[in-house]
Amino acid sequence: MTGSIRSLLLAILLIFSGRLFSQDAFQELDKAYGLDPMLYNGKKYSYFLPSGTGGTQFIYSQDFISGEMVVKGYCARGLDINYDIYNQKLLLRFNDETGASQILEVSEAWLESFRLGDAFFKLLAFNDEKRIYQVLGDGKYQVLYAWSKKLKLGDYAGHSVYTFSPPFKSRFVSIDGAIYPFNSNPGLIRNFPPGLKTVIKKYLKDNGIKVKKATDQAMADLINYISSL
């Protein structure tokens, strides 16, 4: 076999094996079967726990629902998505060229924001740390929720079983490009300039708002009101 033939066969083998085993194999599907590379660009989702694990890693449930996302300024709607808050991954489900269901992790390098049900989320960076936040409000101030879960190992009737905790959120207010934590009405108020504190306190009292129990809509209305002052 001549050297040129061997080189050709080696090149073909490398291309073929790369298509089979690359973590970015979805990009090959994009080219071959017309999937939009702006959307279907990421790694295959592979985080699955043993049968019997209590709860799920997702913010609401394991069911994917119709939502929208923005990647590199491009907005797409009507997508099957879900949010794994334990691993901090936005997941996109679709059918490949064979009709089989596939799930990929949306690339953090491309993801800007997404909407899941009535909740709006953005990938933001503060203090050199990037993560997904639920965003409430559309003014100069915003309330941010950082959602998470814990995975615990319990011993029930002699069997070790993993169980996810309920979802819980850390609350922040975004002011002038920085975020400040709060977990109570006084904790929220103290983050604002002195001239606003009395007005915010009155709004909270007049509307019967306790930030630990307030609905998303109530918090959005509150922060938009503060932004208007």
pLDDT band at 60 (very low <50, low <70, confident <90, very high): very high
pTM: 0.82
Is a pLDDT exceeding 80 seen at residue 37?
no
Q: What is the pLDDT of residues 96-110, one digit of tens each?
A: 878 889 999 999 999
- Identify whether the C-beta of residue 93 lies closer than 8 Å to the C-beta of residue 102: yes
pLDDT band at 157 (very low <50, low <70, confident <90, very high): low
Q: What is the pLDDT of residues 99-155, one digit of tens each?
A: 889 999 999 999 999 999 999 999 999 988 999 999 999 999 999 999 999 998 876
